[in-house]
């Protein structure tokens, strides 16, 4: 251990001293109430995961070896055989749970479908037969570009059933992004829809798909689900309507027997360079950890809970926590197609009330949006069914955490802030809600069976203080590589610190051993040699009564290296201006210290976000540096950038 005080990798300022132990009432029926799982995993890492694999999954053949670890390549449950769709469907039906609801699906226009495990099983079998008829076989790749409709999980599970890897491309991505991903994966079939509903408008997917398909020679067939009813072009011989090909398909379909280490899916994620990385996930280990975390992090009582993960299946959160984790566990889920403000800003709370949702899993950006909209909407609905709240995707500011707990959770529900990545496949750092005393804004501790350490620049462990988050042991759902690029896999994750997986995130460990995520390390600023995390300045800003949302970046500065520029959106009733700007600068200086005082505060009505809701700091940095803006195609709303740029040019610079 090194002393964290001399030259810490990242300077940190504790802002938070509230803590929330699990209530007695919650603990009384919680799956985990103490340290039993952590203790078991600490005693026998491999034995612990082997027990989970055996308890949570059905295997066609038992594995011979739990783990083969040849850094940086892990193989879990080697020799074991299973099929993912059988684990999600067949065994529940066989066990007499066929009439249990798998999905309460709701379309944005208000149409609904209730789908039982038996019905989902039948539909998946039929579509798996369709895929086989189209020539899809074990080892192939299938691209999926769809809205949030039930046919999306059906398509994924049908791929898994025939042993083809799916590559889901988020429906908000452009034709060009889709094309690049299809080509990289050499996908044979594309499954899409005419369109999907978003904010009352039909988003045309088939038209984008057609543009992508002009240059994707590997694609032999396209299956199109009719969703919006808009007219689309259908290429004869290549394109098939889903309802046509499904019409004659049998509901009997033998599942392909897969090796634990066979590829289950590819999911592309952006890195520091332009070309996205095809993250590879395999079958046995991935399903084990997805199911384990879904069960214990959310304290799932599958017989009674109504679980809702409000992410899009196009992101890893949807893969692991709408599709694989919940279905392996036999849970009942809500799935919603559209936006949270259609037709009103209470759409989510209406859904929670009507389906009596008990577990809600969403992202800080959504929570901060709701904060901005105010408490009237959630207060006008009965949210008393909720018992666990989850957060994922970004560091959650303590203020947002507290708002979530109070206004959505009625001060009654534990909040679990879950840290993980596309690459980790499943949750890694998180409270267990019946056992862990939470602190607002902290993901608390690595889960049982997960080994995380914060290290300094030289890779030395930092027991208390700030640094870089690394993982020191293989975990079952870890990525198995980057598709077609082993060198990049090695360079991106395993080269910075010897023998450690480097997640790219900054973190600090507080005096009680709690982990606090500080954002990507490229979101760490250096002000006169002091490294300051953007997250902590943002948290201070959001803690001010006038602020709804804040994004902080370091702009180049000749004297101090970097200077802090804050982009701030105010709550509805506030008047942004010089006076408030000065007040916010002073507020941060008081909360954190003068080093962290923003040099510039730029007020804006909205912040530029990626389609998954992450604030585009790279873009804000470019604005702050006065450079030309780069590619803005992944912006949720490109007009925001122009507005921000205009304001940045007009904002006063202070020191
Ligand atoms: C960030 C999403 C703080 C982090 C599952 C990570 C978080 C990246 C949290 C992965 C959290 C995710 N607290 N930061 N609870 N969860 N992140 O691949 O920077 O879309 O590296 O996976 O999101 O994003 P990805």
pLDDT digits (tens, 9 = 90+) for 401-458: 999 999 999 999 999 999 999 999 999 999 999 999 999 999 999 999 999 999 998 9
Cβ 551 vs Cβ 607: under 8 Å = yes
| CATH classification for the domain delimited by 524-650, as one of 1.10.533.10, 1.10.3470.10, 1.25.40.340, 3.30.300.30 | 3.30.300.30
* pLDDT at residue 276, as a whole number: 80
More confident residue, 650 or 386: 386
What's the CA-to-centroid distance between 471 and ligand 1, angstroms?
14
Q: Whose alpha carbon is nearest atom 11 of ligand 1?
A: 419
* 3 state SS of 222: strand
> Distance between CA 466 and CA 514 in Å, rounded?
11
Q: Reply yes or no on whether the pLDDT at 292 is more than 70.
A: yes
Pick the CATH number of 24-507 from 3.40.50.2000, 3.40.50.12780, 3.40.50.720, 1.10.1510.10: 3.40.50.12780
Grade residue 615 by pLDDT with cuts at 50, 70 and 90: confident
The per-residue pLDDT for 2 is: 33
Closest ligand 1 atom number to CA of residue 430:
15
Residue 172: pLDDT band by 50, 70, 90 thresholds? confident
Atom of ligand 1 nearest to the CA of 422: 18
Q: What is the pLDDT of residues 341-378, one digit of tens each?
A: 999 999 999 999 999 999 999 998 899 889 989 999 99
- Ligand 1 contact, 279 CB (< 6 A): no
Handedness of CA 135, 138, 141, 144 (dihedral sign): positive
pLDDT at 629 over 80: no
Q: Are 465 and 12 spatial neighbours (Cβ–Cβ below 8 Å)?
A: yes
Determine which residue's CA is closest to atom 22 belonging to ligand 1.
Answer: 421
- CA 149 – ligand 1 centroid, Å: 25
**Residues 77-115: tens digit of each pLDDT:** 999 999 999 999 999 999 999 999 999 999 999 999 999
Residue 400: which residues within 8 A CB-CB, separation 6 or more? Answer: 364, 367, 368, 371, 542
Mean pLDDT of the region 507-516: 96
Neighbours of 501 (CB within 10 A): 25
pLDDT of residue 15: 60
Between the CA of 424 and the centroid of ligand 1 the distance, in Å, is 10
- Mean pLDDT score, 504-521: 92
128-171 tens-digit pLDDT: 999 999 999 999 999 999 999 999 999 999 999 999 999 999 99
Residue 395: per-residue pLDDT: 86
Q: What is the pLDDT, as a whole number, of residue 624?
A: 84
Answer yes or no: is pLDDT of 319 > 50: yes
Q: How many CB atoms lie within 10 A of CB 167?
A: 25
Q: Can you tell me the distance from the alpha carbon of 617 to that of 61, in angstroms, rounded to the nearest whole number?
A: 47
316 C-beta closer than 6 A to ligand 1: yes
Q: How far is CA 287 from CA 74, 93, 252, 260, 319, in A?
A: 15, 19, 24, 10, 11
Q: What is the mean pLDDT of residues 568-577?
A: 88
Q: Which atom of ligand 1 is the closest one to the Cα of 612?
A: 20
CA of 69 to the centre of ligand 1 (A): 25
276 lines ligand 1 (CB under 6 A): no
Kindly report the number of other CB atoms within 10 A of residue 184's CB atom. Answer: 20
Say if strands 189-193 and 165-168 run parallel, antiparallel, or are unpaired. Answer: unpaired
- Measured in Å, residue 421 CA sits from the centre of ligand 1 at 5
Query: Around Cβ 59, how many Cβ atoms within 10 Å?
Result: 17
Confirm if 186 and 142 have CB atoms less than 8 A apart: no
Which of 318, 324, 392 maximizes ligand 1 atoms within 8 Å of its Cβ, making it the mutation to test the pocket?
392
Overall average pLDDT of the 393-407 stretch: 93
Band the pLDDT of 6: cuts 50, 70, 90: very low
Residue 538 Cβ inside 6 Å of ligand 1? The answer reads no
Pairwise CA distance, residues 468 & 462, whole Å = 9
Quick one: pLDDT at residue 636? Answer: 62
Atom of ligand 1 nearest to the CA of 417: 15
Return the number of other C-beta atoms located less than 10 Å from residue 496's C-beta: 17
Question: Residue 555's pLDDT is what?
Answer: 87
Cα(115) to ligand 1 centroid in Å equals 31
pLDDT at 531: 63
Nearest to 543 by CA among 410, 400, 370, 365: 400
Mean pLDDT of the residues in the chain: 92
**CA-CA distances (angstroms) from residue 599 to 86, 395, 563?**
57, 23, 6
Query: How many whole angstroms from 554 Cα to the centroid of ligand 1?
Result: 20
Token look-up 């810490």 returns 8
CATH 3.40.50.12780 residue ranges for the chain: 24-507
Pocket lining: 320 vs ligand 1, CB cutoff 6 Å = no
Do you find a cis peptide bond into 343, omega within 30 degrees of 0?
yes
| Digit-coded pLDDT (tens) for 42-86 | 999 999 999 999 999 999 999 999 999 999 999 999 999 999 999
Residue % of the chain over a pLDDT of 70: 94
Regarding the beta carbon of 267 and ligand 1, being less than 6 Å apart is answered no
Residue 559 pLDDT exceeds 60: yes
Task: Indicate whether residue 520 lines ligand 1 (CB < 6 A).
Answer: yes
- Indicate whether residue 421 lines ligand 1 (CB < 6 A): yes
| Any ligand 1 atom below 6 A from CB of 427 | no
The residues of the chain that CATH labels 3.30.300.30 are 524-650
Read off the pLDDT band of 518 (50, 70, 90).
confident
Instruction: Please check the confidence at residue 1 and state whether its pLDDT lies above 50.
Output: no
pLDDT at 388 over 80: yes
> In the beta sheet, which residues pair with residue 95?
none
pLDDT at site 539: 87
Q: With a 6 A CB cut-off, is 290 part of the ligand 1 pocket?
A: no
Instruction: Say what the pTM is.
Output: 0.87
- Closest atom, ligand 1, to C-alpha of 317: 5
Those residues whose C-beta lies under 8 Å from the C-beta of residue 631, and which sit 6 or more positions away, are none
Asked whether the predicted pLDDT for residue 641 surpasses 90, the reply is no
Residue 3: the pLDDT is: 35
């Amino acid at each position: 251990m090194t002393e964290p005080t001399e030259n810490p990798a990242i300077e940190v300022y504790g802002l938070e001293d509230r803590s929330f132990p699990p209530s007695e009432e919650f603990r009384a029926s919680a799956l985990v109430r103490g340290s039993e799982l952590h203790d078991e995993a600490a005693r026998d890492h491999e034995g612990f995961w082997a027990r989970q694999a055996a308890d949570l999954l059905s295997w066609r053949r038992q594995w011979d070896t739990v783990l083969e670890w040849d850094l940086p390549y892990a193989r879990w449950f080697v020799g074991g055989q299973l099929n993912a769709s059988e684990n999600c469907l067949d065994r529940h039906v066989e066990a007499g749970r066929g009439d249990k609801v798998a999905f309460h699906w709701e379309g944005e226009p208000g149409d609904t479908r209730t789908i039982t495990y038996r019905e989902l099983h039948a539909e998946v079998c039929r579509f798996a037969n369709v895929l086989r008829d189209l020539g899809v076989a074990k080892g192939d790749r299938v691209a999926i570009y769809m809205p949030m409709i039930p046919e999306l999980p059906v398509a994924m599970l049908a791929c898994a059933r025939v042993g083809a890897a799916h590559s889901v491309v988020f429906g908000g991505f452009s034709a060009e992004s889709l094309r690049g991903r299809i080509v990289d994966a050499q996908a044979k079939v594309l499954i899409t829809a005419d369109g999907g509903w978003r904010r009352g408008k039909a988003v045309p997917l088939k038209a984008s798909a057609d543009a992508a398909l002009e240059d994707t020679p590997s694609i032999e067939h396209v299956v199109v689900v009719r969703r919006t009813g808009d007219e689309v072009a259908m290429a004869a011989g290549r394109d098939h309507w889903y309802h046509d090909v499904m019409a004659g398909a049998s509901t009997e379909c033998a599942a392909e027997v897969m090796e634990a280490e066979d590829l289950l899916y590819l999911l592309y994620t952006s890195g520091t360079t332009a070309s996205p990385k095809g993250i590879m996930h395999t079958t046995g280990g991935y399903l084990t950890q997805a199911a384990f975390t879904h069960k214990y992090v959310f304290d799932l009582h599958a017989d009674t809970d109504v679980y809702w993960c409000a992410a899009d299946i196009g992101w890893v959160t949807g893969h692991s926590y709408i599709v694989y984790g919940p279905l392996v566990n036999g849970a009942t889920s809500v799935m919603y197609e559209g936006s949270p403000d259609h037709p009103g800003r209470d759409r989510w709370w209406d859904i929670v009330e009507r389906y009596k949702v008990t577990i809600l899993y969403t992202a800080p950006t959504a929570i901060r949006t709701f904060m901005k909209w105010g408490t009237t909407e959630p207060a006008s609905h009965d949210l008393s069914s909720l018992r666990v709240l989850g957060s994922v995707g970004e560091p959650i500011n303590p203020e947002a955490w507290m708002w979530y707990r109070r206004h959505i959770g009625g001060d009654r529900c534990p909040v679990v802030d879950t840290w993980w990545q596309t690459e980790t496949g499943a949750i890694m750092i998180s409270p267990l809600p019946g056992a862990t005393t939470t602190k607002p804004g902290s993901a608390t501790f690595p889960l049982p069976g997960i080994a995380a350490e914060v290290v300094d620049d030289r890779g030395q462990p930092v027991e208390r203080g700030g640094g870089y988050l690394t993982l020191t042991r293989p975990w079952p759902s870890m990525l198995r590589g980057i598709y077609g690029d082993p060198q990049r896999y090695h360079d991106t994750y395993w080269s910075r610190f010897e023998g450690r997986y480097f997640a790219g995130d900054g973190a600090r460990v507080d005096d009680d051993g709690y982990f606090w995520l500080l954002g990507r390390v490229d979101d760490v600023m250096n002000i006169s040699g002091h490294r300051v995390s953007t997250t902590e300045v943002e948290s201070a800003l959001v803690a001010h009564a006038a602020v709804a949302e804040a994004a902080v970046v370091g702009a180049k500065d000749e004297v101090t290296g970097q200077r802090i520029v804050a982009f701030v959106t105010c709550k509805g009733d506030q008047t942004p201006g010089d006076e408030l700007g000065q007040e916010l600068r002073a507020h941060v200086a008081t909360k954190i210290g003068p080093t962290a005082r923003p040099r510039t505060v730029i007020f804006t009505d909205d912040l530029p976000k990626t389609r998954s809701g992450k604030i585009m700091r790279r873009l804000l940095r470019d604005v702050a540096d006065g450079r030309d803006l780069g590619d803005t195609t992944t912006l949720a709303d490109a007009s925001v950038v122009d507005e921000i740029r205009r304001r940045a040019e007009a904002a006063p610079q202070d020191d």
